[in-house]
């Protein structure tokens, strides 16, 4: 994707709208007002805050441009603040590694825009180009790798895509004395776009996790997880398939809705460490979370 013609502002990049072919609007202003009501387009245009894909300011007379984009800033809806900090493990040479808390999304999406790792760090560190090179679920805590130099983004993303990163997770879940540990779980995981949960079904496996028992904690246990693949909710599904759903999981085995201001009972899943040979320098790197999982 080409670089947006408007800069990041207050941690957020601009939104964009594509003007479709075949529309009968004469001006950009006319199209926006007709097809995207509820926004103060007149005010934005008057303030010079709507531009075309070349960065040229759109005014009231700017002609409609089929198949082109317009860019603008959108003010997100108020959000419930997540009362946990993002801890920085490493910051230097275009790389930022953080210890993400539970309940904080990685990237702006849906109802979570400002209350995300990306927006917080862009504002806190004044790094408008900061992006994560992999993802952690909102409910998962732990080590998250980001770049602040666009030239480094691709090498680190490819490192994850090619499975050249050794990931170790930790989870607390019911103790299963009937399962021989360590064990390896393989399954076919499906995720339908628009649905919150994923599911397993018979077929050629596309996911694999090695699971070790670290210690028994009464009726619970601490597990160490080594995913070889990175499917959506893979670790949650694989432990659940052993009859050991992760403590605090409101998705599996059964979905239960959680209020947006409820920060109790977190998912006891932690990205404990990342280890890899740096794709730029070739040096071995290892980053470990300082967080702990409590029963």
**pLDDT higher than threshold 90 for residue 3:** no
According to the model, what pLDDT value does residue 1 have? 57
Would you kindly state where each structural domain of the chain is located, as residue ranges? 15-72, 87-288
Instruction: Convert the pLDDT of each residue in 225-238 to its tens digit.
Output: 999 999 999 999 99
Which residue, 138, 74, 78, is CA-closest to 106? 138
Q: What is the pLDDT of residues 15-68, one digit of tens each?
A: 999 999 999 999 999 999 999 998 999 999 999 999 999 999 999 999 999 999
Q: Are 4 and 17 within 8 A, CB to CB?
A: no
111-114 own/partner pairs: CB under 8 Å, 24+ apart? 111/77, 111/79, 111/260, 112/79, 112/138, 113/12, 113/76, 113/77, 113/79, 114/11, 114/12, 114/76, 114/79
pLDDT for position 126 = 96
* pTM attached to this predicted model: 0.92
**pLDDT of 2 over the 80 cut:** no
- How buried is residue 104: exposed, middle or buried, by Cβ count under 10 Å (0-12/13-18/19+)? buried
Among 112, 269, 139, smallest CA distance to 197 is for 139
Distances (CA, A) of 7 to 70, 71, 74, 93: 14, 10, 13, 22
Q: Which two tokens stand for residue 2?
A: 């080409």
Angle subtended at Cα 156 by Cα 230 and Cα 228, rounded to the nearest 5 degrees: 25
Asked if residue 194 has pLDDT above 90, the reply is no
What is the arithmetic mean of pLDDT over 156-185? 97
Mean pLDDT along residues 280-294 = 97
Fold of 87-288: Pseudouridine synthase (3.30.2350)
Q: What share of the chain has pLDDT > 90, as a percent? A: 95
In the beta sheet, which residues pair with residue 224? 170, 212
Residues 24 and 18 sit within 8 Å (Cβ to Cβ): no
Residues 72-109 have pLDDT tens digits of 999 899 999 999 999 999 999 999 999 999 999 999 99
Give the pLDDT confidence of 245-271 residue by residue, as tens digits.
999 999 999 999 999 999 999 999 999
* Sign, CA torsion 20/21/22/28: positive
The phi and psi torsions of 42 (rounded to 5 degrees) equal -60, -45
Which pLDDT belongs to residue 25?
96
Q: Please confirm whether the linkage preceding 182 is cis (ω < 30° from 0).
A: yes
């Amino acid at each position: 994707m080409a670089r947006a013609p408007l800069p990041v502002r207050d941690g957020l990049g601009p939104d964009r709208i594509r003007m479709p072919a075949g529309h009968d609007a004469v001006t950009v202003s006319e199209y926006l007002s007709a097809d995207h009501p509820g926004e103060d387009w007149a005010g934005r245009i008057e303030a010079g805050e709507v531009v075309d894909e070349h960065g040229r300011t759109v005014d009231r007379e700017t002609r409609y441009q089929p198949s082109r984009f317009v860019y603008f800033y959108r003010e997100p809806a108020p959000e419930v603040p997540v009362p946990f900090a993002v801890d920085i493990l490493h910051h230097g040479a275009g790389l930022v590694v953080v210890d993400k808390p539970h309940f904080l999304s990685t990237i702006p999406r849906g109802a979570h825009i400002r209350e995300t790792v990306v927006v917080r760090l862009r504002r806190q560190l004044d790094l408008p180009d900061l992006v994560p090179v992999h993802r952690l679920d909102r409910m998962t805590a732990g080590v998250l790798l980001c770049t602040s130099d666009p030239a480094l983004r691709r090498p680190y993303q490819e490192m994850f895509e090619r499975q050249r990163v050794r990931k170790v997770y930790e989870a607390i879940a019911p103790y299963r004395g009937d399962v021989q540990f360590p064990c390896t779980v393989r399954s076919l995981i499906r995720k339908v776009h628009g649905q919150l949960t994923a599911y397993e079904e018979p077929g050629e496996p596309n996911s694999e996790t090695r699971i070790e028992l670290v210690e028994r904690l009464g009726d619970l246990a601490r597990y160490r997880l080594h995913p070889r693949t990175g499917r959506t909710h893979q670790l949650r599904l694989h432990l659940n398939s052993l009859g050991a759903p992760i403590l605090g999981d409101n998705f599996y085995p059964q979905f239960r809705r959680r209020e947006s201001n409820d920060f109790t009972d977190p998912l006891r899943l932690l990205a404990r460490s990342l280890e890899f040979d740096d794709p730029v320098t070739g040096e071995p790197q290892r980053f470990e979370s300082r967080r702990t999982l409590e029963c």
